[in-house]
Chains A and B, each alone.
Chain A
Amino acid sequence: MKLPFAYLVGLIFGLGISLSGMANPAKVINFFDVAGTWDPSLAFVMGGGVIVTFIGYRLVLSRSKPLFERDFGLPKRTDIDARLIGGSLIFGVGWGIAGYCPGGALPALGTGNLTVLLFVVALLAGIVLTRIGETYLSDKEGTANG
C-alpha cells in the first residue's frame, strides 16, 4: 500500500501547488516585490499549509507509528550551523532569480513546459554536483585526518 499512498500524496501536493499559484514564477516573484507589483497570495499558501500541517501532525504524531512503516522518520537535529544558514541564503538567491523552488517546479513539469524542464535539469545538476563535491571534500578530510 506504500506506493499508491505515495502517489496519492504527490497528486494532492501537485494539485495544491497548481491551485495555489506556486507553479507560476511571475506570481512567486511578485510576492517578494513589495516595492513593485506586489501580490501577497504566497502568504496564504504558506498560512494554509502550515495550519493544516500543524493540526494534522499533532493528531498523527500522537500515534505510536505510521500505518505502513515501523517508525516516524523525523529530523532530529536542533543545532543551527553555518551550512543551514548559508545554504538557505543561497537557495533564496536562486529562487529570486528563477522564480521556482523545487516544490513549485516538480508539479509544473507535469504540464510539459520546456522552461520548467530547463529549471529542473539545472536543479538536478546543482543537487548532484553539491553531493559529489561534499563526498570529495569529506574523503579528502578523512585521508588528511587518517
Chain B
Amino acid sequence: MITEFTPIASLIGGALIGLAAVVLMLTLGRVMGATGILAGAIFPSGSGDRGWRIALLLGMLSGPWLFKLISGAFPVIDVPMSPLMITVGGLIVGIGVTLGSGCTSGHGVCGLARISRRSLIAVLSFMFSTAVTVYVIRHVLGIG
C-alpha cells in the first residue's frame, strides 16, 4: 500500500511530540516514554504515582479528537495487517518494550535528545530488527 510522503506534517507532528516531552520534563520532571507511562499506570511505583499517568493517557486518547476539531477528520488509519498479526505483534511489542525499558518515544525521542548511550543502542537495535521483519514479511513471505 502506497502512502503519501508528508515531510511538513510529519516534521510539525514530531515537533509537537518533542514539545510534549519538554512540557512534561518542565512540569513533572519525567521522561515522555509511552511504554514507561503505560506500564507505570498498571504497576505504579508508589501512592500518587498513578494519577498523572492516567491523566496523561486520557490526554493521548483526546489527541485525535483535537486533530479532528482542527482538520475536520480523524487521522487516517490503514491497517494492512490481519487481526492475527496485530495480536501477535502487540504481544511481542509488549514483551520487547518491557525488557528493553522503552520504545520509540522514550528511547527514540527523549533518550536520543539526552544523548543517552543506552537509548542510542536501543534505537539502532529496534530500527534494525523492524527493517528486517518488514523485509521478510513483504518481500520473502509476500504478505501486505
Task: Please report A residues at the B interface, Cβ cutoff 8 Å.
Answer: 1-27, 29-30, 32-37, 39-42, 44-54, 56-57, 59-61, 63, 65-69, 71-75, 77-80, 83-104, 106-111, 113, 115-116, 118-131, 134
Contacts and interface: CB of A to CB of B under 8 A. Distances in A.
B44 interface: no
Interface residues of B, number: 112
A92 B128 contact: yes
A24 B21 CA distance: 21
Contacts of B63: 10-18, 107, 110
Contacts of A94: 88-96
Interface of B: 1-7, 9-35, 38-39, 42-43, 51-53, 55-67, 74-81, 83, 85-101, 103-105, 107-114, 116-118, 121-123, 125-135, 137-139, 144
Given A45-B11, A85-B121, A94-B92, A14 B62 contact: yes
Contact of B130 (A8, A32, A134): A32
Contacts of B99: 83, 86-87, 90, 130
A59 B32 CA distance: 16
B118 A80 contact: yes
